Amino acid sequence: MSLGTPRSLASSGQKNIQDIRHPLCAAEESASSRSADALIHPGSGAATGGGGGEKDLSLPNGTPVETSSPASSSSLLNRLQLDDDLDGETRDLFVTVDDPKKHVSTMETYITYRVCTKTTRTEFDLPEYSVRRRYQDFDWLRNKLEESQPTHLIPPLPEKFVMKGVVDRFSEEFVDTRRKALDKFLKRVADHPVLSFNEHFNAFLLAKDLNKRQGLALLTKMGESVKYVTGGYKLRGRPIEFAAMGDYLDMFTQKLGTIDRIAQRIIKEQSEFLMELREYGPVYSSWSSFEEELHDPLEGVSGCVSNCSSALDELTEDMSEEFLPVLREYVLYIESMKTVLKKRDQVQAEYETKLEAVVFREDKKTPVPTDVEKCQDRVECFNADLKADWDRWQNNKRQDFRQLLTGMADKNIQYYEKCLAAWESLIPSLQDKQEARDETN
């Protein structure tokens, strides 16, 4: 590396060491402010474009809203699945997590999952691999990715600890929910253009035994935390674009937390209503045994209530197993993003401190120290990687929530259609009963 004047950061517009005011000088603010909104809400400008014809409906963030009849929700789900299939044609690494198994020993009881890999990459000797991993192996992998790729956003894992007495971590429901989360974690890593080539990720997919590789995982993780958190440098202020990221994450956390709390209350109320329905229907069936003329209508009402309770059970189960896990995954995703932002801030603060020491030195002719240029390179690397991962995260978020909300709409439509069909099926029997009575009179 040359020992001349350090290269300017992409967002600063600095020319040489004598002209440097500060990495956050006013010259960068106008350019950064113009790019900040586009970074946080990519594509929003196109959504607000004018023109004749019908007015396009859009959300406050500029996301267009597709208006359609309720019957079209399933077709939209099919189109979303088709988009995923088209994306899959460009991939060369496919990873799935399935087949959970319970293991009981004298020391512990734990669950392992089968990790299947299919690939066309030349660095793999075989096209397919299959290994078994437990949760701590996934945790080891994530720690290694954070250690070796500190400038990148590492997807979150599901939370390890659960409240004893509240959730049975060996229940079929809990194990399957965790399996889905672990599967999503590996798929996100496999789809990443950098993380998917990480040596630790390859070892995770191929090695039959990871015990030898796990020994220093905790120690290296602690060392990495100390390296970035206790560096002793104070950041003057984030560039506008990264400050906008932090503000967006704070807002997004608040919204997700509110939705999660309300959704849990809805699930609780639906579960209580479901219990009442299950007691409500049999009453009509019991009553019908004492009413000869009303026997068929009462049995019909009992059957309708039973069908409605089954439909509500499916809706509540879907909300618990499909809707809430996505919200919680993104809450953890936000924490991961904030961690990367803090690391970036620490590197920038270190660069600012060293840069100021060079600016205010007495001997202006002395070459710029190499460590300043290295620190500058780290800042540029952090900025570039973080922006790329931010864009990728936003794209994934839009796709995930579009699919989540469309699925939720479709499930609600199915629920009400089943209830409507159940009650409509009762009408003919009531009409036939009335017509028969009129004929006898």
SS3 90: coil
Rounded to whole angstroms, how far apart are CA atoms 300 and 427? Answer: 9
All domains in the chain, ordered by first residue: 92-211 (3.30.1520.10), 227-441 (1.20.1270.60)
Alpha-carbon span 131 to 139, nearest angstrom: 16
How far is C-alpha 279 from the chain's CA centre?
39
pLDDT digits (tens, 9 = 90+) for 108-128: 888 999 999 999 998 888 999
* pLDDT given at position 292: 79
CA dist 406 → 5, 42, 69, 78, 418 (Å): 54, 21, 13, 11, 18
d(CA 393, CA 402): 14
Residue 196 DSSP one-character state: G
**pLDDT given at position 140:** 94
Strands 128-134 and 109-119: antiparallel
Predicted confidence at residue 230, as pLDDT, reads: 40
| Range 173-176 contact pairs with CB under 8 angstroms and sequence separation of 24 or more | 173/321, 175/100, 175/111, 176/100, 176/321
Judge whether 380 and 10 are in contact, CB under 8 Å: yes
Instruction: Please give the torsion angle defined by the CA atoms of residues 28, 43, 345 and 218, in that order, rounded to the nearest 10 degrees.
Output: -160
C-alpha 372/C-alpha 6 separation (Å) is 8
How many beta carbons lie within 10 A of that of residue 350, not counting itself?
21
Angstrom distance (rounded) from CA 177 to CA 168: 12
| Residues shown for the chain | 441
What is the model's pLDDT at position 239? 87
Alpha carbons 415 and 266: distance in angstroms, whole number: 15
Structure confidence at residue 374 (pLDDT): 85
Per-residue pLDDT of the chain (441 residues), as tens digits, is: 444 444 444 444 443 434 434 443 444 444 445 555 555 555 554 444 444 444 444 444 444 444 444 444 455 455 555 555 545 557 889 999 999 999 988 888 889 999 999 999 988 889 999 999 999 999 999 999 999 999 999 999 988 765 444 467 788 888 998 999 999 999 999 999 999 999 999 999 998 876 655 554 443 444 444 344 445 566 677 889 999 999 999 999 999 999 999 999 999 999 999 999 999 999 998 898 888 778 888 889 999 999 999 999 999 999 999 999 999 999 999 999 999 999 999 988 888 888 777 777 656 666 667 778 888 888 899 999 999 999 999 999 999 999 999 999 999 999 999 999 999 988 887 776 655 555 555
Closest C-alpha to 100, from 115, 83, 117: 115
Residue in the structure block whose two tokens are 């106008």: 30
